[in-house]
Amino acid sequence: MEDLISSAKDYKDELFKQLSRIGKSLSSDKRLEILNLLAQGPKTVEKLAQDTGMNVANVSRHLQVLNDSRLVKFTKKGTYSIYSLVDPSVAEFLYSLWRIGENQLSDISRIKKDFISQMDGLYTLTMDEVYEKLKGGNVVLIDLRPEEEYEDGHIEGAVSVPMEKLDLYLKELPRDKEIVAYCRGKYCAFSDIAASKMKHEGLMAYSMAEGIYEWHRYMEQKH
């Protein structure tokens, strides 16, 4: 019996040791940012470097850590390595992590509030409000993410208006409809910035804090 107890302890210790590999790989804000970007769709190392503001060498080192803990995978296309999340469960984990962070870390709410307070008159819609407006039909939903992310997946009916091209689209957006903007979810400030810019141009514009992952979860619950 003592041998079994000792063996059980070793078994437990080894399991927690393996789980700690995941925890250690998430102990970097930049690795969390990379995972959030990959949740939007596959990306090359070069694209991740561009989006995070890091150099290619640093991104590669972070990706190696994430790959070692089996959170990401990659394929080769010519000379490029294209990375993606290993499976949807990683996106689910990121969503849970964000919710825990919002609930337990007051600094997150403060940072968001301080940022939004810089934009007068900005109103962020809940997903219930967006859903009802879409049902009414008198609204245009715009996706501010890069075109390749939009092509990889988007909210049904959304129009692709990449953030860097928003100024070019401002004159084309209808003045007789409400405009709702979304981007990469709660990590992304572009929807707030875009809605504020559109309001200053006289459009009836709102932001949606959530992204496509939260929206798909919401729609699954609706049905």
Q: Is 183 a catalytic residue?
A: yes
Strand ordering across the sheet containing 204-208: 124-125, 204-208, 178-182, 139-143, 159-160
Q: Classify 125 as helix, strand or coil.
A: strand
pLDDT band at 8 (very low <50, low <70, confident <90, very high): confident
Alpha carbons 183 and 5: distance in angstroms, whole number? 52
Query: At residue 3, does pLDDT exceed 70?
Result: no
- In percent, the amount of the chain with pLDDT more than 90 equals 78
Q: Is the pLDDT of residue 181 over 70?
A: yes
Contacts 24+ apart (CB under 8 A), 144-149: 144/181, 144/182, 144/183, 144/188, 144/190, 144/191, 144/194, 145/40, 145/183, 145/184, 148/41, 149/40, 149/41, 149/184
Q: Which of 49, 59, 91, 183 is catalytic?
A: 183
Three-class SS state of 207: strand
Q: Give strand pairing partners of 208.
A: 125
Q: How confident is the model at residue 223 (pLDDT cuts 50, 70, 90)?
A: confident
| pTM exceeding 0.95 | no
Strand partners, 82: 44, 75
